[in-house]
Amino acid sequence: MFVLGITGGIGSGKSTVSGILADRGLPVLDADEISRSVTGPGGRAMPEIAATFGNKVVMSNGALNRRVMSDIAFGDKKKLDDLSTIIHRHVFEQIIDTLDKEKQKGSKCVVLDVPIPVNKFRELCNQIWVVTCDKEVRLARLQKRGMDKEEAERRIAVQMTDDEYCELGDFSIDNSWDLEDLKDKVETLIREQLYERGIRI
């Protein structure tokens, strides 16, 4: 089974590329969604989070109380790192479980949508496509989503640069223009990289 990684900075259009591939019938595992599910009601990370930080961080429905957790972790890097370590471990366990199920089903290709290409992510992928975008376009997109410019600039500043992302990927897709341009670029990679591997979508 071919695991295709999609990554890129906030506002780059990573999720749009994953959506194009999903529309073509490929299963997409979204790390952000999985992160929300492992800290949701009955989520697989919740027993360990409760054991580490106390039951006060668990809401009555069994989900993470993000406000209380934020108060605990804010300003305490060790606690924030501990929380991140727990969540990331459970996210990757769930990703691996889901990849195993897709393999058993006979899926030829699965898309893994991850915002930060950490080593574990790169090890799981056979190929990585990086979505890049002009900074001003990214800022405009994030503001259109309701984020103010200062917050958007802060979010972009703390992430890796496009060049750093590209160093970790196999192919890059510049999404600084319109949706049709993006679809054309994704279509080219589908033909060149997936079709040649017998993955017809």
pLDDT tens for 118-170 read: 899 999 999 999 999 999 999 999 999 999 999 999 999 999 999 999 999 99
What is the Cα–Cα distance from 133 to 30, expressed in whole angstroms? Answer: 20
User: What angle, rounded to 10 degrees, do the helices at 135-144 and 149-158 form?
Assistant: 130
* Tokens of residue 176, six digits: 């600084």
How sure is the predictor about 43, in pLDDT bands with cuts at 50, 70 and 90?
A: very high
**What are the residue boundaries of the structural domains of the chain, listed by start?**
1-27+108-201, 38-106
How far, in Å, are 69, 98, 101, 102, 130 from residue 105 at the CA level?
38, 11, 6, 5, 27
**Is the overall model pTM greater than 0.85, yes or no?**
yes
Q: How far apart are CA 127 and CA 66, in angstroms?
A: 34
Architecture in CATH of 1-27+108-201: 3-Layer(aba) Sandwich (3.40)
Quote the CA–CA distance of 128 and 125 in Å, as a whole number.
Answer: 7
